[in-house]
Structures are given as C-alpha cells and as structure tokens.
Structure 1
Amino acid sequence: MKLSIIAVGTKMPAWVQQGFGEYEKRLPREWKPQLKELAVAKRGNNANVEKLKNQEAEQILAALPRSAHVVALDVLGKKTDTQALAKNMLNWQQLGQDIAIVIGGPDGLAERCLQRANQKLSLSDLTLPHPLVRIVLIEQLYRGWTINNGHPYHK
C-alpha cells in the first residue's frame, strides 16, 4: 500500500511545512505519505467558484493513482473521530490498494472529485484553512497508527 496526500496549494508557510514534517517523520515507512501539491486556481474579483473548483479538479483527478482508494476530505463527509480513523486505517491496509487522501482548495472540492471518492470524511464541523488541514490530517494519521500499534501517544 502506498499512501498519497493530494493537496491543492503550493508554497506553504514554514509553520505548515514544519508541522507536517514533524508528524511525517514519526510515521513508519509503510505509512509515510507522498505529498503531491497542486496549484490553486487563480482567484480574482467576481470569480466563478465552480469554474475554479473544476480547474483544480482537473489537476486532482490527473494526480490520483489509477486504482487508488480515494478518500476525499469534505465538510459534508462522514463525521469521524480518532478511533474511527484508526479503524479506517486498518481497513485501508487490508484493501490491497493504494490510498489517496484529497484536500481541496480554499473553496473545497468539485462535485466530480467527490463522485470519484470511495469515502468522504469530515475532520471537523469547523471550517479549517486548507494549509492547517494538512497538519491536522498527518497528526491524526500518526495518532491512528499509534492506537493501532499500542503506542502510548494517544493517552
């Protein structure tokens, strides 16, 4: 199983890179994600949000590994907690497929990205800035791994 995180947004601030890197280095080799950063569609005054999301969708869909199990992070996705994410991680390992977790841009994901997803998860009812989602996601992946492996980090 290979894990990819496909995220709209490049040139992240240092604090995002540091936060992501801190948890990425703690993960064992089999859970270290390949981060694929994609350009945010250019926004301007009176921009058509659906058009922008569709431009980002082109990149996202092209970046997905062909036979991957796709997990879209979406505010309307299934509410999950850490224990449920840990169980999902065990299930993902048993699928025998690559896993791709998708983080949309500032306006979320286009409908066709959501339709491509095998799962839609919500990390929070709060609206989180997409750079922060990277850190929350990687920390929760680490936390899920620790739960599944009896590591005391979660306590």
Structure 2
Amino acid sequence: MNIKIIGVGKIKEKFYRAAIAEYAKRLGRYCKFEVVEVPDEKAPENLSPAQMAAVMEKEGARILAKIKEKEYVYALAIKGKERTSEDFAAELNQLATYGNSDITFVIGGSLGLSPAVLQRANQQISFGRFTLPHQLMRVVLSEQVYRAFTIINGLPYHK
C-alpha cells in the first residue's frame, strides 16, 4: 500500500518534522509512506472573498498536480465525516482489499481546500471541529495512519 500526505506549505518547526519522521519510520514496515509539500500562496490577513478564492484556487492547482488518477483521495475538512480509529483502520483495510492501494490525504493551507480539490476527493474526513495548524495536522494524521496499521495487524499500540 502507498500512503501519501499532500500538505500546503513547509514545516519549519523541527519538533513537527521529527514527529512525522518517527511515524514515517514506523510505517515503513506496513506501507510506502510519503509527505509531499506544495508551496503556499502568500495571503495577508484581510483578504476579500475573491482574493481568498484566488489563493485557494492557486494552492488547489498545486495540490491537484500531485495527485494521480488512480489515487484514492481523502480531503481533510471540518465538514468531513468523523470516524473512530477502528473505523478508519477498517476503511483503509477495505480500500486495500478492493484494489485501492494508492491512498492520498490532502491537508489545505490556512484558508482550507479549493472546491476543485474537494470535488476530486473520494471522501472528506474530519478529525473533529477544532481548527488545528496544518503542520500539527500532518503529525496527527501520520499518527492515525500508523494507529490504523497497528489495529489492522492486531498490535497493542492502539489501546
């Protein structure tokens, strides 16, 4: 199975990079795991709705350029469906069983994901209604993917 996380912007904080690297190392026994960063669009604080849409469209085009046609795509979105860790693990396992072995997760920038990216996604997933920094969300997502594989493989980590 191939798992890819596409995120907008670079992770500058060393502790976030270290956490993601740790989960990437752990995931190495279960899948090919990759994090792809696309440049964020500079956006001042007080943008008009049209300027916000333009920023999301530019970031969305960069994201879509990194997604292949065969990939099964989860868009992380507050309005997405929430799951338990066990449900998430079962879903990933079922996707792999039925031939979806290339799974991509997309984390937007500070303004969220463009309509084009949401439309390309096979599903929207939510980790709750909190707003989290996208750098931290990459860590949380990496951990949940690792947790899913430990559940699938009957390991005690997930308890």
TM-score, with structure 2 as normaliser:
0.91
Residue 2 of structure 1 and its aligned partner are, at CA, apart by 1.9
Tell me the equivalent position of 2:129.
125
> SS of the residue aligned with 2:73?
strand
Q: C-alpha separation between the residues in 2 aligned to 1:147 and 1:45? A: 42
Q: 1:70 aligns with which of 73, 76, 79?
A: 73
Give the Å deviation of 1:10: 1.2
Aligned length: 155
- Cα distance in 2 for partners of 1:95, 1:4 equals 18
Q: Look up the equivalent residue of 1:65 and give its one-letter code.
A: K
Q: How does 1:49-128 map to 2 (within 5 A)?
A: 49-97=52-100, 98-128=102-132
Q: Does structure 2 conserve the Cα–Cα contact (< 8 Å) formed by 1:65 and 1:100? A: no
Cα distance, 1:30 vs. partner?
4.1
**What is the TM-score normalised by the length of structure 1?**
0.93
Partner amino acid, structure 1, of 2:92: M
Unmatched runs of 5 consecutive residues or more in structure 1: none
> Match of 1:15?
15
List per-residue Cα deviations over 1:82-101 (Å, max 9, x = no partner): 11111111022123231111
Note if contact 1:2-1:30 (Cα within 8 Å) is conserved in structure 2.
no
In the alignment, is residue 154 of structure 1 matched against residue 155 of structure 2? no
SS at match of 1:15: helix
Q: Which runs of structure 2 are paired with 1:29-68 in the superposition (5 Å)?
A: 29-47=29-47, 48-68=51-71
In the alignment, the residues of structure 2 paired with residue 126 and residue 89 of structure 1 have an alpha-carbon distance, to the nearest angstrom, of 24
How far apart, in 2, do the equivalents of 1:16 and 1:45 lie?
24
Unaligned 5+ segments in structure 2 are: none
Shift, 1:110, TM fit: 0.7
Letter in 1 for 2:136: L
How far does the alpha carbon of each residue in 1:56-92 deviate from its partner, in whole angstroms, 9 at most, with x for none? Answer: 0010111102211111110000011211111111022
Percent identical residues: 39
CA distance in 2, matches of 1:92, 1:28: 19
